[in-house]
Amino acid sequence: MYNMSKLRSAMQKGKRSTLTMAETTKTPRKRTKEAVKKEEEPTNPCTPTTYHTFHEPASVLQIQKKLLNWYDKEKRELPWRTVALKEPDVNIRTYAVWVSEIMLQQTQVATVIEYYNRWMKRWPTVQDLAAASLEEVNKMWAGLGYYSRGRRLHEGAQKVVTEMEGQMPRTVDSLLKQLPGVGRYTAGAIGSIALGEVSGVVDGNVIRVLCRLRAIGADSTSSAVTEALWTLANTVVDPERPGEFNQALMELGARVCTPKAALCGQCPLKTHCHSYRKVHVKQEANSQKLLGKVGKSPSTQGDIEDCPTPASCTLCPTEPWLDDLGVHNFPRKPAKKAPRVEQTLTCVARRPSEDGEDEYLLTQRPNKGLLAGMWEFPSLLLDEENSKVKQKGALCAEVGRILGVEVNKDLLSYVGEVVHIFSHIHQTYIVYSVSVEDEHATEETQSEKLQWLTRPALLEAAVSTGLKKILKLYESMGELSHEVLTLKDGKRKKVAKNSKLSASKKTKPNPANGTRQLSLNSFFKTTEET
């Protein structure tokens, strides 16, 4: 009875799939009588649509069975999967899966595990997260990248508590409509995994698996391919175990059907894979050519080697098949857009604290945009190439604006450059440093957007990976970066301005050799109040 009900369900889904995909290919125009008559005639069962779909209910059942059997044996034990299976409270379960899915966007599983465990330990419920501050959330998220994700989780939690009486959405549609930062994939994943909703999912791994299974070679980012993939995902998902089936499909893409080194021999679905069969057809044809058997057709199932009408098919590749790539011919993606190139001036400003430990000046970024709400060293985005003199002048003006003093550019030391790659920006930080060592250095300059932090506190704060790279470069320069100053005449001179140097290493000012003892007044001039 169970198999018969699944078969009937799969048959209905198969019919809906074929109808849906056929409808997307129609052109909205007035039909002639001849066109109507032609539509009423029986269609070729091997149209491009059926070639690229799961149109056989029995095959769908086999795919579901084989993939879930493989998953039950091979799946990785991950903390969010454990919660999804064992947590009886649907609100906590939905919240936990939501957190995991947001963290897993554009981030590898191995990286996410530690962050997820720390997050759930600190904020085990949506109410706990809603009560946290954005500063605490940014601090917890630091190093995970794509920082807007953490902010949206926080916004979503506050919305659930204040507008939805603390109850997480219970359907895919409500997840999509009510939670900020939740798109079609994330809603489908949360709904199927946490709530048992029968909904497919389409992420990078699933795109790769489905494109290879159904030999979809058109641009995988195009609207036609995107909609076709969602139709496939909703057709093939197992109605009895939708969450586990979706995770199995993603697991297969992550571990077996990989981008550049697919392990086809280990794939439980290889007998259902058009790409895999196509490779074998090509290999057999090439073998026969080498053996001089050009007249014979390959014994492998050649009738499904290609789509019957590739020229008019919106899912077939526009580029020729490359034998060397094999199944890696699918999917096809457009060339990536080159990242925007930016340069940013950054100043590492340091002062001794009352207990003698160095402190670093940090400012907070705006609450919107790149690295929103994160802390950084005083920085300026460069609009064009500038000489070091102009760079130092601009940076001095910015540091002076922040501290309310005038900064002499002669005491800024060039440290070096740090390259940091964001998803869409190739960022180069041009790093300078300055030491503040006078009675003014201990004046209270803390504010909501400004703070002095010791190194341990800095590393625990909501700072980006890029800032940590800058700090590492600064520290690797050692005493040199703290002592060498570039003067107006372009000459480089050493000045002992590190308060930690031993007395035996300090030298007295000597006008004869040009060495001078510096005070804060030589580069900080108190700005007159207006």
Q: What is the set of active-site residues?
A: 101
Which DSSP string do the residues of 178-245 spell out, in sequence order? HSTT--HHHHHHHHHHHH--------HHHHHHHHHHTT--SBTTSHHHHHHHHHHHHHHS-SSSHHHH
The single-letter DSSP state of residue 339 is P
Tokens coding 99: 């957190």
Tell me, what amino acid is at 419?
V
d(CA 492, CA 102): 50
Nearest partner of 205 among 253, 246, 268, judged by Cα:
253
Q: Which helix (H) or strand (E) holds 484?
A: strand 484-486
Three-class HEC string of 134-193: HHHHHHHHCCCCCCHHHHHHHHHHHHHHHHCCCCCCCCHHHHHHHCCCCCHHHHHHHHHH
Give the CA-trace dihedral at 325, 328, 331, 337, to 10 degrees.
-70
Distance between start and end Cα atoms, the chain = 87
CA angle 196, 199, 201 (to 5 degrees): 115
- Crossing angle of helices 90-104 and 109-122, rounded to 10°: 140
